[in-house]
């Protein structure tokens, strides 16, 4: 077999998987993106401010309630994806750890949320409703994350995509029905989103049980293995969870309702890259986890180069033709021309660092120093930006977001170089079953 044939036999199956993802997951992600953008256009500015804060904070809480636990399944199982008992045992260990974490983090997160929105004077009843939605949705999002990881690991991507499509398009269609009958309001926008999360969680739970067919056994040893692999990433995961919504949190504390809505609307544009972030979890992580060591560096470097090229082109487009993006957001946000470029550039940089991080995690390039470096450098840069810019303005918080993104990609690149130089984190031998 010549070099061309080897390259063809390697690339064709991968391209088919990517095409499958783009076709099916693309429909689901497009539905979710349209849902969010329609909410931007349909809801009045004060109502969309509440919507943006609620789901922005929910994104942070969802990450804090997982802290990388579900992401340890693929690297721990490795090539033993046919060992159903092993997967079930790890799943049981993940579930026990996640339940304890929820009981610790959820009450504290609810209290923090109340203090976060205190300055906005939205009323006790409204804030109480928002807290209930947060806690319920975060619980089901945790279930979806854990059991969805099993569905992906067992390569039942068709089911995974189909459920995503049903949930996404179902929410979008219902939203349009409510709008057509002039019943669209913030409660409809929020509750349809919550219903989708619950639907995904129940579907993945049932499918994972069918795919495994065995009950997991309680194993403190496997819980320790999960903790050991996730622990080096813990500071970075917590920090990223907060940093991911830092602009919205800062503008909520220092800014006015209109500024909150503007930042929330701009953040919807960055959701375009979430589509490709989903591909990292579904295709990239399992692929790099199984990739032979001899081919790892070359494939990694080529992949990063292509992603940097695409991200750069997308960012340039946002600065040169901001009107396209502003048309999507609607007339309430037509004056945010330069801000569009800032949010897309920062999101593109974060996508690059996120891609690196998922590959590093799959290959166990996880170390204490890179997370600590990232935290220290990011805080230092943010203090400088805080001193220089007014964080009660939309542009001020976007500059802070961009500076933080630059730090994250620099540290991620350093972690990758170190990983190839020193090798992955060593793991203790774990029994097969």
Residues 53/248, Cβ–Cβ less than 8 Å: yes
Task: Report pLDDT digits (tens) over 396-422.
Answer: 888 888 888 898 899 888 888 888 887
Tokens of 54: 């609620």
The mean pLDDT value of the chain amounts to: 80
Three-state DSSP class for 270?
helix
The pLDDT of residue 430? 45
Distance CA 427, CA 286 (A): 18
pTM of the model as a whole:
0.69
| pLDDT reading at 16 higher than 70 | no
DSSP alpha helix (H) spans, 321-367: 322-329, 337-362
Number of H helices, E strands in the chain: 19, 0
Tokens of 376: 């220290």
Nearest alpha carbon to residue 68 among 94, 86, 102, 100 = 94
Residues 226/97, Cβ–Cβ less than 8 Å: yes
DSSP string, 210-259: HHH-SPPPP-HHHHHHHHHHHGGGHHHHHHHHHHTTHHHHHHHHHS-HHH
The pLDDT of residue 431? 46
Task: Report pLDDT digits (tens) over 312-330.
Answer: 998 999 899 888 888 878 7
Residues 6+ apart with CB under 8 A from 73: 87, 90, 91, 94, 149, 150, 153
The pLDDT of residue 426? 62
Residues 6+ apart with CB under 8 A from 138: 58, 61, 62, 65, 102, 106, 109
């Amino acid at each position: 077999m010549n070099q061309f044939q080897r390259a063809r036999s390697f690339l064709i199956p991968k391209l088919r998987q990517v095409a499958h993802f783009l076709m099916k997951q693309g429909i689901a992600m497009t539905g979710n993106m349209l849902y969010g953008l329609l909410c931007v256009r349909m809801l009045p500015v004060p109502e969309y401010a509440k919507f943006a804060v609620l789901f922005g904070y929910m994104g942070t809480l969802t990450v804090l309630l997982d802290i990388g636990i579900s992401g340890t399944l693929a690297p721990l199982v490795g090539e033993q994806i046919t060992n159903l008992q092993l997967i079930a045992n790890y799943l049981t260990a993940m579930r026990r750890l996640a339940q304890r974490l929820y009981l610790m983090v959820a009450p504290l997160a609810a209290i923090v949320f109340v203090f976060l929105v205190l300055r906005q004077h939205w009323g006790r009843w409204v804030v109480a409703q928002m807290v209930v939605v947060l806690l319920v949705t975060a619980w089901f999002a945790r279930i979806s994350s854990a059991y969805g990881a099993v569905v992906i690991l067992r390569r039942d991507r068709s089911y995974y995509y189909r459920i995503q499509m049903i949930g996404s398009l179902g929410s979008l269609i219902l939203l349009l029905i409510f709008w057509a009958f002039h019943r669209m309001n913030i409660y409809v926008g929020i509750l349809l989103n919550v219903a989708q999360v619950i639907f995904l969680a129940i579907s993945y739970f049932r499918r994972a049980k069918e795919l495994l067919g065995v009950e997991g056994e309680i194993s403190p040893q496997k819980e320790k293995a999960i903790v050991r692999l996730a622990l080096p990433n813990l500071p970075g995961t917590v920090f990223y969870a907060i940093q991911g919504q830092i602009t919205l949190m800062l503008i909520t504390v220092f800014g006015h309702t209109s500024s909150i809505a503007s930042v929330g609307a701009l953040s919807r544009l960055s959701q375009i890259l979430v589509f490709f972030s989903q591909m990292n979890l579904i295709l990239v992580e399992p692929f790099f986890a199984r990739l032979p060591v001899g081919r790892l560096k070359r494939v990694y470097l080529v992949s990063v180069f292509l992603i940097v090229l695409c991200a750069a082109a997308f960012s340039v487009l946002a600065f040169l033709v901001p009107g396209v993006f502003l048309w999507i957001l609607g007339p309430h946000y037509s004056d945010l021309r330069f801000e569009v470029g800032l949010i897309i550039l920062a999101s593109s940089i974060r996508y690059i660092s996120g891609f690196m991080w998922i590959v590093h995690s799959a290959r166990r390039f996880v170390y204490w120093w890179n997370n600590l470096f990232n935290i220290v450098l990011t805080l230092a840069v943010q203090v400088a930006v805080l001193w220089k810019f007014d964080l009660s303005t939309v542009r001020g918080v976007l500059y802070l977001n961009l500076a933080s993104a630059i730090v994250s990609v620099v540290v991620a690149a350093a972690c990758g170089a170190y990983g190839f130089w020193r090798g992955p984190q060593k793991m203790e031998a774990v029994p097969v079953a």
